[in-house]
Amino acid sequence: MQTLYPELLPSLENTTYPFLPTASLSNGSVFFLEGTFLDAHIYAVNGVGNYYISSVQVSSKQIKFNLGDLSNADLISGTVDLPILDSVIELTDAFGRSAGMLVSEPSRLALFTTWGVGTHRFERSQTEFVITCQMPVPGAGVTGFVLPDGSFVTGHVWFVGEEGVVVRHEVGEDKEGNPVDLIRVDIVGDPLFLQKLCNPESLFVPVNPIKIVRVVADNQTFDCTPDEYGNISIQMNDALAADAALRVRTTDVGLVISVEGSATMD
Amino acid sequence: MAKPNFFNENLNRSYPFKVGTVDLTKAVAGAVTLANLPDEFIVDCGFVLGPLSEFSEQLNQVYLSRISRPTSTTILFEFSCDAWGVSKPLIFTRHSTDPDFTSEYVESQQDSVSESTDSCSEPDWSGYLVTGSTAALFSMITMGQNIIRQATEAVVETTLIQNLYNNQVVSISLANADRTRAVRPEACPALEWNFLPGQVFIQTSCLQGDLIFRPGYNCTISQLGQTNTLQLQAIEEAGAGQPCEQVPKFPAETAPTNTENELFEGDHYCNEVLRTINGLQGPGLTIYAGTGVSIVPAENELTIDINLRDLSLCTYSAVSESL
């Protein structure tokens, strides 16, 4: 009995679709049957088109399909675990981002279990997909920021300056003199950050530093403030007597103020 | 005989819906449901889930959620998606005067609640719809009829969905975490700022288009073409050199209102506090009274008394005079 209006996928099972009609479907040692895949939908974010199956890796646990394009033979991939239960093989790029799917049925995918364990490579002319399976992706510009740990961020991305780094928005000009947004990065430090780093729980114990040394002598008062390096000197004055006995010595243990002379003979 | 084209074939099969989710029984005029949705109503559709849609092929699906005929000349098709990031349905409109196989492209409306992000957002999703026989539509759906999806009906084929979730940077926003701010001792008046410290201060949001990184103070930025990497390095005097003034965390940042200087932290400049005495630094500094000297502390006062204690004194000594 012939079905007058077959559903879409059954209508494709005896065709080379989703591969090009000119695709040989064989690398000389293994081959795809017509109807191995019923449909495909491929849209790698960094792809440039002309997608094809570049290799099929068969292992005892799973089958991995690697798809390439004009620039990269291993651009995206999808896997199906053994035993085969899935009908849809989801394709993802190296960062796990969705890149489409291959549609089949478990009984059709069983073909690959007859291939030997190992990697089976194909040329573009052997397994290129038809253009209607390949969806263009808008030129999004930057598709993501990869972080040192391998993760990546997309969508609305925030740059947050902290620990001495300040990020700012400025408007500059490009080579043609058109206004362009600038992201300025200043690395200026955080003067109190070391204390925060040492004791982040309670920040730090507030100090009440000495700002002035006030000298009171008889009825006179002098305010001694630190120099540009925060230093102050206490010295003896030997201008009035060549044999001054007062000594101010800086030692490892502190400042010693003494008078030279003979000790009392008791 | 001319070969039937794609749309003509779809008039008689479930596509673009999954087999078994529509046209389960023969529909009659005025009693159309999505379970028995006639194949000739919709012949093609396709959807693009946006970069913020959070769509997952394993978890989510797109489906026809409602058909309504609010006026005698208008029928609305409402498609929905159960992805977390898709809040609004796509609504397609057909008029009784539309020709067969009318196609229409629609983008989801922005959510007016979250204006801060919507100003630079991509649509949650978008799609196109090609309807089949307009005459069949208006003959089968009666005026005022509102057909709502029940459970698992009218699910769109997965190959008609392009999932762009996580596939692009939509915008860049800039902010700065707060600087470490000084805390005064308990006995002193607390520092007061005319803003709330401790926040992340937003510099600008929703930058889009071509952006340029500019190295500021003590910063170099290099581009490594081989690895497609931008490398930012902190190098003293690099970029714009050393700043002459403090760099604010946000344009309106000011010093505390109750300090004598203009330091944003509320701290002291280096030359405002004693860091060393005769080169000796704290935090604890000991002053010893040697021979002939007494040091008497009292509150915030040190009395250094050169009293020649324990020294042999001569009546003609000039030492004490020189002091």
Q: Which residues of B touch A206 (CB under 8 A)?
A: 182-186, 188
Which residue reads 């005459």 in tokens? B135
Minimum distance, in Å, between the CA of residue B71 and any CA atom of chain A:
33
pLDDT value for B323:
43
Is B290–A243 a contact, with Cβ atoms under 8 angstroms apart? no
Percent of chain B, pLDDT > 70?
92
Q: Is B4 on the interface with A (CB under 8 A)?
A: no
Q: Rounded CA gap, B260 and B277, in Å?
A: 24
Task: Give per-residue pLDDT as tens, B4-34.
Answer: 588 998 998 999 999 988 877 777 777 788 8
- Whether residue B3 is predicted with pLDDT greater than 50 in this model: the reply is no
Q: Is B295 on the interface with A (CB under 8 A)?
A: yes
Q: Rounded CA gap, B173 and A145, in Å?
A: 14
pLDDT value for B2:
44
H or E element that contains A198: helix A193-198
Which of A157, A187, A222 to mutate: most B Cβ within 10 Å?
A187
Give every CB contact of residue B26 below 8 A, 6+ residues apart in sequence. B36
Residues of chain A with pLDDT under 70: 1-3, 140, 193-207, 238-242, 265-266
- Nearest residue in A to B301, CA atom: A214
Where do the structural domains in chain B lie, given as residue ranges? 6-163, 172-272, 279-306
Task: For residues B205-212, give the mean pLDDT.
Answer: 90
Q: Which residues of A touch B280 (CB under 8 A)?
A: 250, 254-255
Which residue reads 């695709």 in tokens? A23
pLDDT value for A257:
87
DSSP E strand stretches across chain B: 42-49, 62-71, 74-81, 90-95, 103-107, 125-131, 146-148, 161-163, 169-177, 200-207, 211-215, 217-224, 229-239, 276-277, 280-281, 287-289, 294-298, 301-305
pLDDT value for A194:
62
Is A181–B268 a contact, with Cβ atoms under 8 angstroms apart? no
Q: Which residues of B touch A81 (CB under 8 A)?
A: none
Q: Is the complex ipTM more than 0.85? A: no
Task: For residues B212-236, give the mean pLDDT.
Answer: 92
Task: Give per-residue pLDDT as tens, B147-169.
Answer: 999 888 999 999 999 999 988 89
Handedness of CA B15, B20, B26, B28 (dihedral sign): negative
Q: Is B76 on the interface with A (CB under 8 A)?
A: no
Task: Give per-residue pLDDT as tens, B107-125.
Answer: 998 655 444 445 677 789 9
Is B212–A172 a contact, with Cβ atoms under 8 angstroms apart? yes
Is B295–A264 a contact, with Cβ atoms under 8 angstroms apart? no
The residue that leads in pLDDT, B187 or B21, is B21
Q: Rounded CA gap, B319 and B323, in Å?
A: 7
Q: Rounded CA gap, B55 and B84, in Å?
A: 7
Minimum distance, in Å, between the CA of residue A29 and any CA atom of chain B:
30
- In Å, how far are A250, B13, B38, B139, B142 from B29, measured between CA atoms? 106, 19, 11, 7, 8
Of B117, B179, B322, the CB nearest to A156: B117
Nearest to A90 by CA among B86, B239, B20, B163: B163
- Nearest residue in B to A165, CA atom: B176
pLDDT value for B116:
46
- Nearest residue in B to A7, CA atom: B13
pLDDT value for B5:
83
Q: What counts of helices (H) and strands (E) characterise chain A?
A: 4, 17
Query: Mean pLDDT for chain B?
Result: 86
- Whether residue B183 is predicted with pLDDT greater than 90 in this model: the reply is no
pTM for the model stands at 0.76
Q: Which residues of A touch B248 (CB under 8 A)?
A: 166
Handedness of CA B49, B54, B58, B60 (dihedral sign): negative
H or E element that contains A181: strand A179-187
pLDDT value for B1:
39
Chain centroid to CA B223: 25
For chains A and B, CB pairs below 8 A equal 339
Percent of chain B, pLDDT > 90?
52
pLDDT value for A198:
56
- Residue B7 is given by DSSP the state H
- Whether residue B37 is predicted with pLDDT greater than 60 in this model: the reply is yes
